Structure 1
Amino acid sequence: MSFSVLIVEDDPMVAMINEQYVLKNKQFSIAGSCRNGQEALDFLAENKADLIVLDVFMPYMDGIETLKKIREKKINSEVIMVTAANDTATLEETMHLGVIDYLIKPFAFERFQIALQKFASKVSALKENDVLDQDFVDSIISSGGKHGEAVPVNAGAGGASNLPKGIQKHTLEMILDYFKENTNWTTGDSVAEKTGVSIVTVRHYMNYLVQTGKIEEDINYETGGRPSMMYKKI
């Protein structure tokens, strides 16, 4: 499966770096590159992009306004928001508008690849599952919150009242027990196989555990095929 990416960035050097980062992942190709939001909307009126890497601060039309227009026009593209700002208001507004990830400049190549993989995993999960069940729906609703709503970072395995919607105490403890016994890097497939939990559900719990600081993630590029997400207990 291949995905097209539109880069929306007013700094030519940053745009070029982002393009190089995208092309390092064989699942992705560049659909185009635009200098501001209006250019992006004009491009999207005539062309398709599966994913948009969208900068916040740009001339003519900034990223926030562009994202609003994308949603208003019902353009069927996921968005990774990129910004040098780290203020809560900007983060909250973009999350409510439904971004799949949010990158703070300067970000590392590895973190950019994780954002791409989040998108690819979500699309794959939607295509691979014909039957809706609660675990599947919960895994698609961005890491425990609708449209990327943040998961409480102080939520732990004890006390179900602290857990976000879609995270069950028993399943969480079972996955954490797996990592207590397996201290090396492991794949989501291995976690699913050993615990008996579906791979879609495992991905959902892995996202939660990464965000709450209990598990760290990395990407293995030496698989011979598409990159694989790896997990290890912190």
Structure 2
Amino acid sequence: MYQVVIVEDDPMVSLLDKTFTEKDPRFTVIQTFSEGRSALEWLSCHPADLLILDVYMPLLTGMELLHELRAREIESDVIMVTAANDAKTVDALLKLGVVDYLVKPFTWERFQQALDTFCRHRQAVAGEAVSQDALDQLFAPSASSPEHPVPKGVQESTLERIRTCLRTAPPQGLPSESISRQTGLSVVTVRRYMNYLVERGEVVSSFNYDTGGRPCRLYRYPGLA
């Protein structure tokens, strides 16, 4: 499970960030801060996978905090959630390597997209070498590759129903039958879509041999185990 720190001076936005983050079982919020200086002191001693960071804050701005973190070789990934949308600020933060940038106000769907982008990034660089397909999924996730073209009849709305189901799956994953019941799709349809998501590298599958009978295939997001 990925550990998240929120740095946001607006308590309502901070609560919204936390609520949206913890709707995804791949993440847990371990600390929240209302200003950058306290966040810097804490992060200097404690690891975190992901920061959800505002720009305009007292004592130390989000930009200054990120500069300090990088100077101290603290490599936590960052998603900016901020009202700062002037081109100079956006460009400077992107050059500091933020994973995604959300301008307030934002929707849950867009926030979830940012979390998915972070997970794709972590998955792509998890091994000793990075495949071209993993890079394609990281930099152009909506584009299909020749190796994994979008099959005829695959609908984005159906993919999203399945993704939503998997985001609330237990750590060991879910079998096709459970996904079918929760989404209202047929088992045959679920298996076809799961094969596609596994081929893309978005979802991983494993076998459960503790069924007392035929092994059961389970599906989950990579960050859940």
Scaled to the shorter chain, the TM-score interval is 0.5 to 0.7
How far the C-alpha of 1:76 sits from its partner, in A, is 2.2
The 1:28/1:176 distance shift into structure 2, 3 A limit, reads closer
The 1:60/1:183 distance shift into structure 2, 3 A limit, reads same
Q: Which moved more, 1:95-104 or 1:118-127?
A: 118-127
Q: Is residue 175–residue 191 contact of structure 1 (8 Å, CA) maintained in 2?
A: no
In the alignment, what sits opposite 1:30?
29
Whichever of the two has the greater Rg, that structure is 2
Structure 2 CA distance, aligned partners of 1:104 and 1:189?
35
Q: After TM superposition, where is structure 1 displaced by more than 2 Å over at least 4 residues in a row?
A: 124-127, 129-136, 174-179, 185-189, 223-227
Identity of aligned residues (%): 35
TM-score by length of 2: 0.65
Alignment gaps of 5+ in structure 2: 160-192, 204-217
Q: Deviations over 1:185-207 (max 9, x none)?
A: 246951774xxxxx35x99xxxx
1:67-216 equivalences in 2 (<5 Å): 67-127=66-126, 129-136=127-134, 138-139=135-136, 143=139, 174=146, 178=150, 181-182=152-153, 184-185=155-156, 186=159, 190=196, 193=199, 199=200
| Corresponding letter in the other structure for 1:93 | A
Q: Secondary structure in 1 aligned to 2:59?
A: coil
| Corresponding letter in the other structure for 1:50 | D
Q: Secondary structure in 1 aligned to 2:125?
A: helix
Q: Deviations over 1:7-42 (max 9, x none)?
A: 000111211111111111111111201111111101
Q: Secondary structure in 1 aligned to 2:44?
A: helix
Q: Is residue 124–residue 130 contact of structure 2 (8 Å, CA) maintained in 1?
A: no
Structure 1 CA distance, aligned partners of 2:89 and 2:54?
12
**How many pairs are equivalent?**
172
Q: Deviations over 1:189-228 (max 9, x none)?
A: 51774xxxxx35x99xxxxxxxxxxxxxxxxxxx98559x
TM-score by length of 1: 0.63
The 1:178/1:30 distance shift into structure 2, 3 A limit, reads closer
Structure 2 CA distance, aligned partners of 1:59 and 1:39?
11
Q: Secondary structure in 1 aligned to 2:105?
A: coil
Q: Secondary structure in 2 aligned to 1:25?
A: coil
How far the C-alpha of 1:88 sits from its partner, in A, is 1.5
Q: Secondary structure in 2 aligned to 1:14?
A: helix
The 1:50/1:191 distance shift into structure 2, 3 A limit, reads closer
